[in-house]
Amino acid sequence: MEAWLDFAGRLHPLVVHLPIGILFLLVVLEIWNRVERWQAPPEQQTRKISLRSLVLFCFASSAIASSVFGWFLAMDGGYGEALLLYHRITGIAVTVLGVVLFILRNRPIWYGFTLVATIVVMVMAGHYGGSLTHGKGYLEDALFKALNPESEAVEEAGKAVAVVAKAPSDFIIYDTFIHPVLMDKCASCHGEEKMRGDLRLDSYAHLMQGGDYGPSVEPGDLENSELIFRLWLPLEDEERMPPEGKPQLTPEEVRLMEWWVETGASETATLADIALPRDMEPTLYARLGLKVNDREPLPERAAVIERSRELEASTGVQIRLLDPVNPYVEVVARFRGEAFGDGTLADLAPLERVIQRLDLGQTAVTDPGLAALKSMENLQVLKLDGTKIGDVAMVHLKGLTQLESLNLVGTRVGDEGIQQLSHMESLRQVFVWQTYASESGADALELALTDARKIGRLRDDIASLEKQISIETAQVNIGGYTAPDVRPQVLEPEPEEPAYEPEPEPGEEPAEAPNPGGELTPTEDAFPEPLDPEL
């Protein structure tokens, strides 16, 4: 029985539109009656009264059905008590007024007042119902923007001023990036007025509290975070959130939620408190209306060229520009050998923000000296092969969020050291030949740096896109038809085996071969004389 009541409750959103449409039809009918009141003959007036009775009967019946189904739907829970109470009272009032309208259909004065009251109460019931379904302020916000079109521009200008006046690194991650996504895509079903699964996502406290399935977020643990698990489910899965038909989170927003949970799901952490993965920076800064490098402008290219020449002369390293437009450079110190040490590495500080490739192979740098790498925020390729560094040096590399390739061949780095790299999401190549690292340690690092879930989702996306491509691909047939070739195929006769010829007896001349068709047989005269070797 409970299942049938649940089914009936889910019919409410369908049935509730019937009395709204019928009431609109009734208003049109009454206006039409007033316009033609003095022109229509008496028998036509009687038909109009009968039509009014039919429409009022349908209106009252559908209003009763809508109220009953709505009551069943409310039994499922998950709605704000105050807003649900207002919607329930106004909905029942519409039903009662519908019955009263039917009773007073032949009393023009009372009928007119009741019709106006029904329209007013219907609007109120629809407003509360819309707020229950789409969230509080669903109609008011749209109406305010329609009446004040300049307000949105003022709001955007205010945000821009706030961004300019505030360093990007000072923005709180939850308030700036996470909360807006939850409010936009989740709060309509998990907010103050509607709480599916007894879950609210409109505040940090409620988010961490969770709902019927326990805490929605486990800081640092994606696998056990219910919020992330629901986002990973296929769109057609009933447990998927948001469900199919609702606005979905974009891939960038899903990655944003994952990154926030991975970093501890803090309410107060800022962009300065957490190292940003390379793939997250464009998303975060785009939401602030900034470019990645707007946090602090890079040095001018001309200034980098001039400073590079000075450092080449003073340190003996080789520096070359990597881009015809940007100021990024590559620094090669390998050929300096033992002459290049920690002090020389520290001398590269003026170029630390534009160094993308750094070759320190075969030099004399040490574990403590690599602390100078921490400020090389754009470093992508680092070669340390043939140096005497060990596990301690790896600690200094953990903050290099854009590092993609690391060469540790021939160093003293072991399993403990390379495991320090396991959280560097941008790292894609690590060379550890002739080191103290074991095969199991290398496998563990490879597993940690490979996002199997993301790869799986990308494969699912590829499969979905391929299916969509097949659906969208058109075929146009102009009626041409090529009949299959049904002619019998002529088989080539198999070559006959030569007849058996017995071997000639000793002293017996072999029989002459037959010469069918009278073909000429070669004779000695048919061959030319050999060339004179003296010619």
What span, in angstroms and rounded, lies between the C-alpha atoms of 111 and 133? 32
Residues facing residue 321 across a β-bridge: 329
Q: Is 16 helix (H, G, I), strand (E, B) or coil?
A: coil
Please list, residue by residue across 50-66, b when 16 or more beta carbons sit within 10 angstroms of its beta carbon and e when fewer do: eebeebbebbbbbbbbb
What span, in angstroms and rounded, lies between the C-alpha atoms of 407 and 347? 22
What span, in angstroms and rounded, lies between the C-alpha atoms of 419 and 398? 10
pTM, entire model? 0.49
Given 3-state DSSP classes, what are the helix, strand and coil percentages for the chain, each rounded to the nearest 5? 55, 5, 40
**Tens-digit pLDDT profile for the chain (535 aa)?**
667 766 776 777 778 888 888 888 888 888 877 766 545 555 555 666 677 788 888 888 888 888 888 887 777 655 666 777 888 888 889 889 888 888 888 787 888 888 889 989 888 888 777 776 666 666 666 665 666 665 554 454 444 434 444 555 678 889 888 998 988 888 877 877 677 777 888 889 888 888 888 788 988 888 888 888 888 887 778 788 888 767 788 888 888 898 899 888 998 888 878 777 666 777 777 777 665 544 567 888 899 999 999 999 999 999 999 988 889 999 999 999 999 999 999 999 999 999 999 999 999 999 999 999 988 988 999 999 999 999 999 999 988 888 999 999 999 999 999 999 988 888 999 999 999 999 999 999 999 898 777 787 778 778 878 888 888 888 888 876 555 555 555 555 555 555 555 555 555 555 544 444 444 444 444 434 444 444 4
Q: Is 236 helix (H, G, I), strand (E, B) or coil?
A: coil
Q: Which CATH class for the 301-452 domain? A: alpha beta
- SS3 assignment for 413-424: CEHHHHHHHCCC
What span, in angstroms and rounded, lies between the C-alpha atoms of 131 and 194? 9
Of 6, 1, 59, which Cα lies nearest the Cα of 28?
Answer: 59
The helix/strand count (H/E) of the chain reads as 19, 6
Tell me which residue has tokens 């590079």.
308
Of 383, 208, 377, 362, which Cα lies nearest the Cα of 278?
Answer: 377
What span, in angstroms and rounded, lies between the C-alpha atoms of 459 and 341? 46
Tell me which residue has tokens 């010469």.
515
What span, in angstroms and rounded, lies between the C-alpha atoms of 352 and 132? 55
Q: Is 533 helix (H, G, I), strand (E, B) or coil?
A: coil
The string of DSSP letters for 71-109 reads HHHHTT--B-HHHHHHHHHHHHHHHHHHHHHHHTTT-HH
What span, in angstroms and rounded, lies between the C-alpha atoms of 452 and 457? 9
Token pair recorded at residue 442: 């290398």
Number of other residues whose CB lies within 10 A of the CB of residue 282: 12
Domain range list for the chain: 2-145, 172-269, 301-452
Asked if residue 239 lies in contact with residue 212, where contact means CB atoms within 8 angstroms, the answer is: no
Number of other residues whose CB lies within 10 A of the CB of residue 288: 19
Q: Is 172 helix (H, G, I), strand (E, B) or coil?
A: strand
Of 88, 99, 25, 34, which Cα lies nearest the Cα of 60?
Answer: 99
